[in-house]
Amino acid sequence: MAFEPWDNVRYKIRAEPGDEVVIIPAPRSVPYICFLALWLLGWVGAGISTIMRLADDFSPGIAIWLLIWIVGGGYLASTFLWMLKGRQELRCVDGDLEVSDCFPGCRLRKRYRAANIRDLSVAALSGLFDWWEPRRRFNFMGGAVAVAFTYGQRICRIAPGVEVAEATAIVAWLRKRLPSA
């Protein structure tokens, strides 16, 4: 009987000129990815049907409904892309923390001044609020913790969905590079 691999962490540390980057893939769940794919197909089909009906008989009410439908479809498609190809990158730039949410064709960056980061720790995701956060949508399975820190008067959570041991290692990596945190 073979042993379970002991080094099966989901994040990677990649060396870049001048420093390293922690790459954390988006939490993935095959049942939810399949569900979202079917949902997206139905959503697109209903949208196409509505466009065809609107082309035959224009109605302002249906046009407004279609615009709202398209916005909802964009949210659904971004969630699907995030689960398939999304990742979060953590890097230290000039002594400060940069957090990038990346998925195909898009990178959203936030920078946090290291001097203002306090209480860097492992924290549980906190229910419905975290479920609605864009990076954490449809994360019902998998790890239930994140790396958290206080920044001014708010708590910031990064690296969602990692296991406790992984979050602990990421906190240690950050503390080594951000001594003031």
> Which tens digit of pLDDT belongs to each residue from 47-96?
999 999 998 999 999 999 999 999 999 999 988 988 899 999 999 988 89
What pLDDT is recorded for position 161? 79
pTM of the model: 0.76
What pLDDT is recorded for position 26? 87
Give the pLDDT band (50/70/90) at residue 124.
confident
Give the pLDDT band (50/70/90) at residue 133.
low
Give the domain extent around 38: 32-83
Looking at the domain assignment, is residue 94 inside a domain? Answer: yes
Q: Are residues 116 and 36 in the same domain?
A: no
Distance CA 160, CA 67 (A): 31
How many helices, marked H, and strands, marked E, lie in the chain?
A: 4, 8
C-alpha distance from residue 30 to each of 44, 75, 102, 124, 140 (Å): 21, 19, 20, 23, 12
The runs of H, that is alpha helices, within 22-89 are 30-56, 60-85
Looking at the domain assignment, is residue 1 inside a domain? Answer: no
User: Quick one: 146 exposed, middle or buried, by C-beta within 10 A (0-12, 13-18, 19+)?
Assistant: buried
* pLDDT, mean over the chain: 85
Q: Choose the most confident range, by mean pLDDT, from 4-13, 32-41, 122-131.
A: 32-41
The runs of H, that is alpha helices, within the chain are 30-56, 60-85, 128-132, 164-177
Q: Are residues 57 and 134 in the same domain?
A: no
Looking at the domain assignment, is residue 100 inside a domain? Answer: yes
Q: Is the pLDDT of residue 45 over 90?
A: yes
Q: Are residues 42 and 114 in the same domain?
A: no
Of 5-9, 23-27, 121-125, 128-132, give the lowest mean pLDDT range: 128-132
